[in-house]
């Protein structure tokens, strides 16, 4: 094994389906209104995958874009981690399906299930493999097709969720750059607050489970909201403290895109200007594990991320889970590294 090394994000990529579902479309489906949705969530539209698209299809498009930007071939990947709660099927893992689609014959592959915090769990895991020298390149993809498990007769949840995929190639960066700190957490006692009740071994699929809508996602919105505001703040504070960075030194905050009011509370807590926050939930809604990587990729593409910037990624989700990471941005290859 080599000595520990600095690890960061070498490239990002994202993909969202073509179909747009607006608030005005939803007005025709359930008892809701554009004004009600926007005032309570900040969401105006979301992307919906086609009947032919599974999560691995979205992940494939995002992964290709990340690899192209990094000028890395799929054959060079050592590992693929897919964060999702909407896998193509119970098994094999979506990561294995993606591995085959990419032609990444050398890569180990596994899925991570941490709901909306999945991407953060994924990049934290990937970093450990590279820090120790076991692997060189790990592809992490956050992908969801939440429209497949959303009840479009439930006005409280159907307005929130959308589909998409975001990818990040994790690898070695120059000393002092890359990930500076991580914070992960979980509280299993809150599991019932945000879940998909049926389809596993507790409630196997049956005509009764289908009739009772138990294969759709279920959420206690008020309780999740209070939890989210609390852990968004505490997780961000934790990674700042671990890295020895002050809130004034944050150049960009990339939060999980669940609700504009939750993001606003965090922004107010840390005294950030709008220019220092990546927000796209008005166009995509809550894409669960895809939210953070898609928002990050769009910020990178828009030129909002510069070499040496301090970037905070922070999220929360079902489990209940939460997580954050702080990185000093650099996509510059390590000297002597064949990229």
Supply the Cα-derived Rg of the chain in whole angstroms: 19
Residue 314: which of 339, 285, 291 has the closest Cα? Answer: 291
For 274, counting Cβ atoms within 10 Å of its Cβ (0-12 exposed, 13-18 middle, 19+ buried), the class is exposed
State the catalytic residues: 116, 256, 286
HEC assignment per residue over the chain = CCCCCCEEEEEEEEECCCEEEEHHHHHCCCCCCHHHHHHHHCCCEEEECCCCCCHHHHHHHHHHHHHHHHCCCHHHCCEEEEECCCCCCCCCCHHHHHHHHHCCCCCEEEEECCHHHHHHHHHHHHHHHHHCCCCCCEEEEEEEEHHHHCCCCCHHHHCCECEEEEEEEEEEECCCCEEEEEEEEECHHHHHHEECCCCCCCCCCCHHHHHCCCCCCEECHHHHHHHHHHHHHHHHHHHHHHHCCCHHHCCEEEECCCCHHHHHHHHHHHCCCHHHECCCHHHHCECHHHHHHHHHHHHHHCCCCCCCCEEEEEEEECCCEEEEEEEECCCCECCCCCC
> Alpha carbon of 1 to those of 132, 138, 339: distances in Å?
7, 17, 21
């Amino acid at each position: 094994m080599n000595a520990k090394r600095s690890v960061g994000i070498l490239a990002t990529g994202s993909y969202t389906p073509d179909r747009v579902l607006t608030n005005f479309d939803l007005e025709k489906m359930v008892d809701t209104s554009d004004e009600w949705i926007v005032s309570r969530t900040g969401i105006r539209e979301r992307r919906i995958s086609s009947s032919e698209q599974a999560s691995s299809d979205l992940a494939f498009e995002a992964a290709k874009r990340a690899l192209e930007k990094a000028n890395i071939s799929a054959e060079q990947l050592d590992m693929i981690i897919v964060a999702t709660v909407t896998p193509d099927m119970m098994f094999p893992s979506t990561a294995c399906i993606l591995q085959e689609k990419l032609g990444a014959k050398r890569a180990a592959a596994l899925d991570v299930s941490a709901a909306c915090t999945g991407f953060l769990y994924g990049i934290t895991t990937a970093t450990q493999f590279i820090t120790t020298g076991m692997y060189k390149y790990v592809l992490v993809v956050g992908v969801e097709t939440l429209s497949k498990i959303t009840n479009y007769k439930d006005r409280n949840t159907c307005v929130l969720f959308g589909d998409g995929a975001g990818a990040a190639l994790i690898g070695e960066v120059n000393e002092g750059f890359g990930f500076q700190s991580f914070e992960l957490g979980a509280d299993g006692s809150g599991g019932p607050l945000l879940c998909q009740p049926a389809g596993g071994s507790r409630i196997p699929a049956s005509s009764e489970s289908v009739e009772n809508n138990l294969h759709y996602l279920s959420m206690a919105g008020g309780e999740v909201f209070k939890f989210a505001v609390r852990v968004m703040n505490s997780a961000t504070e934790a990674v700042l403290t671990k890295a020895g960075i002050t809130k004034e030194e944050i150049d960009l905050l990339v939060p999980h895109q669940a609700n504009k009011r939750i993001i606003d509370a965090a922004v107010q807590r840390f005294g950030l200007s709008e220019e220092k926050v990546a927000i796209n939930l008005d166009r995509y809604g809550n894409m669960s594990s895809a939210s953070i990587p898609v928002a990050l990729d769009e910020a990178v593409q828009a030129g909002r991320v510069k070499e040496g910037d301090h970037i905070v990624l922070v999220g929360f989700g079902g489990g209940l889970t939460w997580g954050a990471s702080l990185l000093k941005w650099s996509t510059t290859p390590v000297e002597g590294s064949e990229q």
